[in-house]
Amino acid sequence: MRLPTLLDHADPHPRQAADEAAGPEHRAATDGRIQNIHGRTAEIMEEIIGRSPLG
């Protein structure tokens, strides 16, 4: 059996609580923005690696 810790009783981050209360539509929109940022970041990294002398 695991003993409770201080983190078990901590309040969630205010932003996290607001996102959870907003519902699935808000979560889907947020996930879409995150995927877009991730995709663009990957493209930039590939471009930088492709330009490097060792790439």
45-55 pLDDT tens trace: 999 988 877 65
Between helices 14-22 and 24-51, what is the axis angle to 10°? Answer: 120
Q: Say if residue 26's pLDDT is above 90.
A: no
Q: Say if residue 3's pLDDT is above 90.
A: no
Output phi, psi for 20, to 5 deg.
Answer: -70, -35
Q: Say if residue 11's pLDDT is above 80.
A: no
User: Is the overall model pTM greater than 0.75, yes or no?
Assistant: no
DSSP letter string, 9-37: GPPPPHHHHHHHHH-HHHHHHHHHHHHHH
pLDDT attached to residue 28: 85
Q: Say if residue 42's pLDDT is above 80.
A: yes
> One-letter amino acid identity for 45?
M
| DSSP symbol at 53 | T
* CA-angle at 37, arms to 13 and 33, nearest 5°: 60
